[in-house]
Copies of this chain bind each other. A is one copy, B any other.
């Protein structure tokens, strides 16, 4: 290996010279643009291969596109996101676009930083996954680059959205538990105060869906919601609070799988068994819900489909920025496992 590595990159000019044509011609071939004959195509492609030329994305961005798509994800740890990413990358596989992930790190400030960085780098499109940012910021981003928002329920005239129907998901869980004979079904939600988020964030919708479904099953009097956070610790605290009640619930619907993990811990600590004494259900059908020793009943969000649709919408919008915004809502499915069973007695 040559330590200094000072050799200049092959440019479009080198290709043009080598193929004995103009740079314009090469550019046309690269972009499959109108005005290049089949012979021209062949000649240029050969030169490109011979020289090992690769277009410089930064330079392209100065005039045209960068062929780069940014995906903002708020939390790399969330085991639900990889599914979405697979759907996105699979859809973009055949295209010339390259995906890069921007770590949002769960905060409005961090999210703003990555999205701005994406815009600064001239990315052609942005997919934001479950953003916590304000509506205003989402619209700011969307007004400077084609944007698709995933996992937020509010719609906007400037961006497309793809989301799972959380109301329906919550209803599936409540229906499943009620069907097993449970009446005292409690819910642990992620505390939310901001009014927009109360309307748009999935966690808020799940809590709403829980309440609606309880009423629909004639269980309105047993509605019992504890507000903590979507973390293992939050689940642990929430479950402790519930188990301390004079009449503790026989089933707990945790708003997310991590929360359910905390619940399992608290239940075991109280000397109770799952599902013998308490049934537990989660949400997201993450990888560890499927693990043998855990085997958690959960709700599957069809992450792959979400990703596929998001990528599809983004490609469409990049092709036509004026078209009216589209909202796609997908249906979740219940995955019953061994943490739910009929109540005791």
Contacts and interface: CB of A to CB of B under 8 A. Distances in A.
Interface of A: 1-5, 54-59, 61-62, 66, 68, 70, 76-77, 79, 81-82, 85, 89, 98-103, 105, 113-114, 116-117, 119-122, 139, 142-144, 156-158, 232, 261, 264-265, 268, 287-288, 291-294, 321-322
A321 B3 CA distance: 8
B77 A261 contact: no
A150 to B, nearest CB: 16
Most chain B beta-carbon neighbours within 10 Å: one of A2, A76, A89, A268: A76
B77 A82 contact: yes
A57 B70 CA distance: 14
Given A57-B117, A100-B101, 8 more contacts: A58-B62, A76-B101, A89-B103, A89-B105, A99-B102, A99-B103, A101-B101, A101-B103
Given A57-B121, A89-B105, A3 B322 contact: yes
Most chain B beta-carbon neighbours within 10 Å: one of A98, A116, A122, A293: A293
Most chain B beta-carbon neighbours within 10 Å: one of A62, A66, A70, A100: A100
Contacts of A291: 232, 261, 288, 294
